[in-house]
Amino acid sequence: MEGDFTFLNEIETYCQEHSDPESALLHEIAKYTWTTQAYPHMISSYLQGRLLSFISRIHKPGCILEIGPFTGYSTLCLAEGLQPEGVLVTIEKNLELEGKLNEFFSKSAYSKQIKLLMGDALQIIPRLQLSPDIIFIDADKEEYPQYLEICLPMMKQGSLLIADNVLWGEKVVHDTSKLDKETKGIIQFNEEMAKKTELSRLMLPLRDGITLAIKK
């Protein structure tokens, strides 16, 4: 196992060296997160961030909805593809992150396009008048099924839904007799996604798993 892990690290490093670099601000956010946060692994990885940026730049969204920005790394990656008049609405539950999120967003070229809302996404989203081109879910895992049900009606043909952590430390394929609420939420989300005939979907084993789904 140790040899496999080393090999994967080498492969990931090789991929990073042959991909676009992250911006100085993204590097600052990553450094801040890994040196100050209790759970820094919650941040999107370098390759995940480049994937989000790549998808956004291809899709050229006018509206993005993000549930769970954490320290804002994924937010700014997604913003790289926004149309000039586009908007990115991001919802964060942890009030302690508000100040730092505003600080990082204010430093970015997309500061006027990002709208940060603090609170429970399940309560906030129904009040929003949005038709997102991209929805990114990376918040409370036990609430993933509810996020899906509340976001699906907002999607139009061609809208893209992206969900992070869909493998949840590989717990989704281990013994399921004793599951924590987060794992149950992820498994239920994955099963519900598989039933949605209106979505075309792809699950990738990138880092902790990521699902891409397009509204047909």
Q: Which residues does the chain have with pLDDT short of 70?
A: 1-8, 175-177
Euclidean distance between the first and the last CA atom of the chain, given in angstroms as a whole number: 41
- Identify whether 144 is part of a domain: yes
- Identify whether 50 is part of a domain: yes
- What six digits make up the tokens of 139? 């918040």
- Identify whether 197 is part of a domain: yes
Q: What is the model's pLDDT at position 10?
A: 86
Q: Any idea what the CATH number is for the domain that residue 59 is in?
A: 3.40.50.150
Q: What is the model's pLDDT at position 39?
A: 87
- Identify whether 94 is part of a domain: yes
Distance of CA 8 to the CA centre of its chain: 22
Q: What is the model's pLDDT at position 3?
A: 44
Q: Provide the number of structural domains found in the chain.
A: 1
Nearest to 58 by CA among 81, 42, 29, 74: 81
- Identify whether 145 is part of a domain: yes
- What six digits make up the tokens of 107? 């430093």
Q: What is the pLDDT of residues 102-155, one digit of tens each?
A: 999 999 999 999 999 999 999 999 999 999 999 999 999 999 999 999 999 999
Q: How many CB atoms lie within 10 A of CB 88?
A: 26
Q: What is the model's pLDDT at position 4?
A: 44
Q: What is the model's pLDDT at position 112?
A: 97
Query: Domain containing 141: what range?
Result: 22-215
**3-state DSSP percent of the chain in helix, strand and coil, to 5:** 50, 15, 35
CA distance 89 to 63: 8
- Identify whether 4 is part of a domain: no
CA distance 117 to 120: 9
Residue 104 belongs to what H/E stretch?
helix 98-107
Nearest to 79 by CA among 103, 59, 97: 59
- Identify whether 199 is part of a domain: yes
Angle formed by the axes of helices 144-151 and 181-195, nearest 10°: 30
- Identify whether 102 is part of a domain: yes
